[in-house]
Amino acid sequence: MVFYFLIYLVVAIQRPAPELTNMLLALAGVYGLAFFSLVAGYFWARWYAIGVGIYGIITAVVGMWQLGTEPVLLFIGGTHLGATLLLWGQNMAQPFDGQTAWREKWHMDDNAVQRLGRSVIRAGVSLPFILLYAFAPRDGATTHLLAVAALVLAGVGLRALVRMKTWGVIAMGAAGTLLLAQAAVSPAVTPAVAGGLLLAATAPFAGPMTRFLAAR
């Protein structure tokens, strides 16, 4: 994670294409957050880093489908796959989501932990796609504002989600819906993928929230 953080940061500083600088800095931030959270031992760090790893695998696979098995793409796919596999499993869970303190604080049982983990992983996959879409060079100011709005909703929603706030799920769902609406108006793969992943991130909570509202 720190390797890709440095790569994107150095390329952004060199400014090979000024219109891509913000996008490169944003991607550096994605990997920087993954590295920092893992080192800090946050309970959600492993899930988030796995999501970022899966994003890298998807990027490499799509690149190889379009360009063939280029060495750079094989390296990107292999390193992200390796990072994802190294973070997977019960042994790696113990220092992070396996901690008991946060479970007791939020009164989380195993089912609730698994539900939260699936959501954070999916959000971790979607975040780089949202950043790519939000900071991509474009002409339409309205489209840009909507993309940034979706990014803000997704970002604050993810933060609220790991703090066990119900409105975080709603914010992420709103961001996903907004991205899918933009993809429908002007067909594009990136907002469609990002929006679908965000809605998938909210899916584990749809049943419990519906049952709670029905009970009231």
Give pLDDT tens digits for 162-185. 888 888 889 999 999 999 988 888
Tell me which of 5-9, 188-192, 207-211 is least confident: 207-211
Burial of 9 (0-12, 13-18, 19+ CB in 10 A): middle
| Distance from C-alpha of 152 to C-alpha of 130, rounded to nearest angstrom | 10
Tell me which of 82-91, 137-146, 187-196 is least confident: 137-146
Residue 206 scores a pLDDT above 90: no
Prediction pTM value: 0.90
Q: What is the DSSP letter of 163?
A: T
Instruction: Say which residues have a Cβ less than 8 Å from residue 172's Cβ, sequence separation at least 6.
Output: 123, 153, 154, 157, 158, 161, 198, 201, 202
Residue 44, classed as helix, strand or coil, is coil
Average confidence score pLDDT of the chain = 87
| Distance from C-alpha of 156 to C-alpha of 182, rounded to nearest angstrom | 20
Per-residue confidence at 140, pLDDT binned at 50, 70, 90? low
CB 56, CB 80: distance < 8 Å? yes
CB 97, CB 88: distance < 8 Å? no
| Distance from C-alpha of 111 to C-alpha of 114, rounded to nearest angstrom | 5
| Distance from C-alpha of 69 to C-alpha of 66, rounded to nearest angstrom | 9
Of 182, 209, 177, nearest to 196 (Cα)?
A: 177
User: pLDDT at position 10, please?
Assistant: 92
Of 198, 133, 205, nearest to 164 (Cα)?
A: 205
Residues in the chain: 216
Other Cβ atoms less than 10 A from the Cβ of 214: the count is 7
What integer is the mean pLDDT of 99-114?
85
Predicted confidence (pLDDT) per residue in 37-94, tens digit? 999 999 999 999 999 999 999 999 999 988 888 899 999 999 999 999 999 988 888 8
Angle between helices 110-134 and 45-67 (to 10 degrees): 50
Of 35, 36, 90, 27, nearest to 59 (Cα)?
A: 27
Residue 141 scores a pLDDT above 80: no
CB 43, CB 97: distance < 8 Å? yes
Sequence letter at residue 195: G
- Residue identified by tokens 């190294």 is 86
